[in-house]
Chains A and B, each alone.
Chain A
């Protein structure tokens, strides 16, 4: 196609859209709904990821060391753990920090504090709080710890206890729940995206159906298939872009309203902030989807009218 033909196709596509009146408006409206659904799915997916990350962060495994373990031995264990690829972070809490935290926590509980004072010294253990990148990694981290020679000094284990066994049930259930939620969430996203794409396809098809006589005339006056198809694809692309811009515009008040109402409920996830921070991404996804949907739907819809 040379420049002259491209120019004519672009101009003709633009005019078809502008003169389409109610048909153009209806197609834009349906495409807007489709892209709004795709846009909502972006937020839903982000919310899901955020929530699952927050929940995952609440899970950790603590290793408590015997009171006789030296800080040097504990740091050696910490350094080894930090080298593991599954480990996200390792926090050291010394025995005195643990005692201070205990006292703060029970500041209003005189009976407990009194009992602590009766004991004399510091009965609390130093500990390492290990956070894995993925909840399913805890098992392998604990296995590593159990097999590690750094945990024994002179043949005696410096580990008092690991709270994994107590937490195992919760961790396993959570791992399963996170996995299921991801999979179901993904399936729902795909399902909604497919349904909305089909609706957009049907609408573009209907819009082109109204032009089927026109297409027959174009063929009879000797227009090539590409020359007939071109303007319809451009009209589809314009429809997609306008619908995407409408959705991008409507998302500002919608996310602002939803953000103020739901941020607390979603554990701090504010859709308005997310939209502002990720505007470029959302912009390209929606504009890209609009262009692709409009163009592909037009190609498929017009194909049947171009046969002999």
Chain B
């Protein structure tokens, strides 16, 4: 489904952020990418989302070479991927309901679909009673659950979560991991980056370790080892 082919990324004047990464992810997999801060985890995701372009090598999503996509086609491509970030990145002047509905609106879904799907997703992430709350009226865990709701609302093929529990307390972290596991069980591929040992061990699936821009381990049923 996803294939990084000898990907290297260098930023101007610095050493490589990623070097010669070759990695493939199969459909319905749950992959944890672990590594110290600055190891290159986020860069790897940015390349997949076409936010950055590789200095060398290619990134494939299904049969598409992501870097060949013209900028006018990027938004179509990004609709196939649901994204969750450490800092939630909710739209501050939209309510919980509107934040989730926005992803559907952007994908051109009808008002009827939005009216039926958004409340369902809000219930799924246990926020059915906070539909009219703005992000600054929600706790960190609640914000992240809204972000997950937004990521899954369009039933994407892939969810990419960049340090989704980085700003959360242990209880909220546990809840988020459980939600992600449930989404994966329903058939969605998930790639998560983290440096939280508890998260990786709780997921108990494939673990890819990156250190100083290089892929150093790839364990099918891995634990957090650095």
Residues of A within 8 A of B (CB): 4-5, 8, 15-16, 19-20, 213-214, 216-225, 227, 307-308
Check if A224 sits within 8 Å of B89, measured CB to CB.
no
Check if A224 sits within 8 Å of B75, measured CB to CB.
yes
Which secondary structure characterizes the binding site on chain A? Answer: helix
Q: Which residues of B contact A20 (CB under 8 A)?
A: 93
Q: Which residues of A contact B78 (CB under 8 A)?
A: 219-222
Sorting the interface of chain B by its residue count into under 10, 10 to 19, 20 to 34 or 35 or more gives 20 to 34
- In residues 41-64 of chain B, which contact A (Cβ within 8 Å)? 49-51
- In the complex, 12 of the A-B residue pairs with CB atoms within 8 angstroms, ordered by the A residue number, are A16-B93, A213-B89, A217-B91, A218-B102, A219-B74, A220-B89, A221-B103, A222-B77, A223-B102, A223-B106, A224-B75, A224-B106
Digit string of B53-90 for contact with A (CB within 8 Å is 1, else 0)?
A: 00000000000000000010011111100010000011
Alpha-carbon gap, A219 to B76, bound state (A): 10
Known: A4-B111, A222-B76, A224-B75; 10 extra A-B contacts, CB below 8 A, are: A4-B110, A5-B108, A15-B94, A216-B89, A217-B90, A219-B74, A219-B75, A219-B78, A222-B106, A227-B105
Question: Which residue of chain B is the closest to A23 with respect to CB atoms?
Answer: B93
Q: Which residues of A contact B94 (CB under 8 A)?
A: 15
Check if A222 sits within 8 Å of B71, measured CB to CB.
no
Q: Which residues of A contact B93 (CB under 8 A)?
A: 15-16, 19-20, 214
- Distance between A55 CB and nearest chain B CB, rounded to angstroms: 56
Q: Does B138 contact A (CB under 8 A)?
A: no
Residues of B within 8 A of A (CB): 49-51, 71, 74-79, 83, 89-94, 102-103, 105-108, 110-111, 150, 154
Alpha-carbon gap, A152 to B83, bound state (A): 98
Check if B49 sits within 8 Å of A221, measured CB to CB.
no
* Ranked 4 nearest A-B pairs via Cβ: A223-B106, A222-B79, A222-B78, A19-B93
Q: Which residues of A contact B77 (CB under 8 A)?
A: 222
Q: Out of A8, A219, A220, A225, which one reaches B105, CB within 8 Å?
A: A8
Q: Which residues of A contact B150 (CB under 8 A)?
A: 221
